[in-house]
Amino acid sequence: MHDLHAAARRCLDAAEPAEKVRLTFETFARLQAGELAPDVSSPPATPIALPGRPARPRLVPARQLSQRGLGTAEGRVALVHAIAHIEFNAIDLAWDAVYRFRGKPAAYYADWASCANDEARHFTMLQGRLGELGHAYGDFDAHNGLWEMAEKTAHSDTARMALVPRVLEARGLDVTPGMMDRLRHQDDERTVAILDVILREEVAHVAAGTRWFHWCCARDGIDPEATFATLLNDYMHGSLRGPFNVAARREAGFSQSELAWLASLS
């Protein structure tokens, strides 16, 4: 197999976490080695559906998830599990960007395959941490919010680049420093170290979203800041909760006027 789109589809379809991670690492390595490339003769992307997933965790509406404080051992494990679930979903989000949206520059596919590889590594670290804490991925319920946004934006590369990396993933830039501080107060330096790696690398993922959102806007001759505002209003009713990690968002390509506008919304 030399078609990158088909290889991305295999990663999406893998249900067991170990197999999804293995295929992700293998696919990224093959792309770097020049063994994979987008193929113009590849069959068109199929309508979006749920990717391969294990039987657990059970997916429930976000409002049904139990709220546990970080002051308890169970609360800390639940937090690690929640972040692991986000990273597992993020593997699929990156591969769907590779699989679904065709005719992009080679750098687009390199960026999102690299993101998938990072997310698989993040998931592996968090899965290992869960094991150290006496648990496994699937032990707690989770929600499907990230993939639901992928489904809503499957028709538009512009909307996908705006709303998944620049809104949902960027939220991680905002909340992770506070989580790290609270975990330090609980002397959980092992989890803090993992989150520090994830935070630094997620800046590059959000930056990739900014880069390719701007590329889509330039292609279509539309203003990126006005378009971002319109998409945020259409899909999220124009609201985002602050506070925002201004330094990280600026590093990820948010303009000063965008940051000021986001602050006014919150």
pLDDT at 266 over 80: no
Pick from 121, 134, 146, 129: nearest CA to 59: 146
Of 124 and 240, more confident:
124
- pLDDT computed for residue 241 by the predictor: 83
Per-residue pLDDT, 263: 87
Domain count, the chain: 1
Q: Is 8 a member of any domain?
A: no
The answer to the question of residue 101 being in a domain is yes
**Is a pLDDT exceeding 80 seen at residue 70?**
no
pLDDT (average), residues 106-111: 98
Residue 1 — pLDDT band, cuts 50, 70, 90? low
Q: For 148-160, what is the mean pLDDT?
A: 97
| Percent of the chain residues past pLDDT 70, beyond the cut | 98
Work out the average pLDDT over 147-152. 96
Query: Please, are residues 101 and 157 in contact by the beta-carbon 8 Å criterion?
Result: yes
Residue 251 covered by a domain? yes
Q: What is the mean pLDDT of the chain?
A: 95
Tell which residue, 107, 141, 139, 104, has the closest CA to residue 31.
107
Q: What distance in Å separates the CA atoms of residue 160 and residue 167, rounded to the nearest whole number?
A: 10
pLDDT at 191 over 90: yes
Contact (CB, 8 A) for 266 and 241:
yes
**Quick check: is 225 in a domain?**
yes
Tokens of 245: 């990690």
User: CA-CA distance, 226 to 216, in Å (whole number)?
Assistant: 13
- Alpha-carbon torsion 76, 71, 180, 186, what sign? negative
The pLDDT, as a whole number, for residue 113 is: 98
Identify the burial level of 259 via C-beta atoms within 10 angstroms of its C-beta, where 0-12 means exposed, 13-18 middle and 19 or more buried: middle
pLDDT value, residue 12: 98
Question: Residue 118 sits in which domain range?
Answer: 70-265
Q: Answer whether residue 244 shows pLDDT above 80.
A: yes
Asked if residue 212 is part of any domain, the answer here is: yes
Taking residues 221-239, report their average pLDDT. 92
CATH of the domain at 184: 1.20.1260.10
What mean pLDDT comes out for the span 74-88? 95
Would you say residue 68 has pLDDT above 80?
no
Q: How many whole angstroms separate alpha carbon 133 and alpha carbon 108?
A: 38
Q: How confident is the model at residue 66 (pLDDT cuts 50, 70, 90)?
A: confident
